[in-house]
Structure 1
Amino acid sequence: MTILSNPAPTRIRVIDLETAGSACHNVCEIGWQDVVREINGRWEVNEERGARFVNPGGPISTQTMAIHHIVDADVAGAPFWKDVAPQVLRPTGDVVALAAHRATFEQRFCSPRLSGGARWICTWKCALRTWPALPSFSNQGLRYERMPSGLDRATGLPAHRAMPDAYVTAHHLRDMLNASSPEQLLTWSEQPGLLPRVPSGPDRKRPWAELGDDALAGYARDRDVDIRFSAETEQRRRGNYNAIPVKAEVQSLLL
């Protein structure tokens, strides 16, 4: 009998960044946690995680210190972002994508040049699609609303530090990957966020399906891209394509 060697598991690397705040809005810490596809096809959070301080090139604001508790002395001797980022964002092996919660923030710093042009999964956008009935879609809100299995409370603390936050995000990503394909998550991530409810104003918390056509048309002209996209999606569902602005998103929707 021929024994086949186990192929290397597919990895997605979750990234979280802490920054120096208004005084010097550069990265001061990067954390990561890998999610791997095992031989049985299931995705799991593995032991590959870590964090590194980054010299932001300027002082950390006191308001930001009060959030993540990283002080200037912690990062004084750390390497600069251009030296740290490629080592974390482009590890050797089979990392097929990067991921983050509200990934547009991380992507501001993790440029294609530093990341090797990797595609990104936004776990916030995917949470809107995967668990639309939940009341909150923040990273920590999902943590306590969902209580993901296997999430070690101590490893996920303190909040607002790069490695613990990446660790928590990875558990949301694992469950998303076990419900939908990576390509589906990537597609959702490359579209605006599909909000399940109106986020603010007189219709706050109302599902889009409850709104009249006139109210929906107003939201389809909103300045916020996620609100516009969500209203236009409901217009499409109703077959009201003529009401959708000419510059609307033209990507196919996976509903």
Structure 2
Amino acid sequence: MHSNIVATVGVEHPTYGAPSLVQGVYGARGNLELAACDVTDGLWVFWYNSDLADDSLEPSDVGPGAWSAGLRFAMGQRYMDAVILQGTLGPDDLEVLALDANAVLQSWYWSAPHGFQRRTTDAATDVASFAAEHDEGTLTVQVETRHGAHHLAVSGPSPYPERQWQQRPGERGRNARATTTPDAAVCAVLTASGISIPEVAPGTIRAADSNRCGGTTELTWRDAAGRIRHLGVPQLAR
């Protein structure tokens, strides 16, 4: 069932920027995967156990309906933005694209039992902002450079787990990911859940759809204190 309980994610780990959330394939009902940049060093990934208490569960240190304490990786660099995607190769590896402080868009993947690994080939350089989509093993990244140019970086499924990137023409304005001003439906949901819109950090609201509870819109944002917040509501028309 849905609830109006707003969860705080990663309470003990200061993070930076807008979080990225996707529904994964792990667990009986598809856990949620959330990636965020550490304030000073590396990346964090948190996962939400979507299973119910009466599901046939494998042993886990995270109970049903709870967020994990977080896994830190990619230490040694500061990151400005990150996106996590559920892949179909590997099988079912997770994909992470992470923009470091030197404007390099790094390509990472997670596979069992090896964990997160950085690929030898980066997705793009001179990057100011980006957005990414996954479709049957192909990654398409919309890139805006620091000089205002736009292009696509596209990687097909071969030769996985490595990726080769091709640059293609892109369109201005397609790569905005965060909602600076949330739409009326999102504002109404947050307000009804006791969240004051002025207390939401500008540019950090994101919405992702999942199939939990018959269809859920997973809202994430950062509050005025810098904490990552999560709220799942019946799927909104967007």
What TM-score does the superposition give when structure 2 sets the normalisation length? 0.26
TM-score by length of 1: 0.25
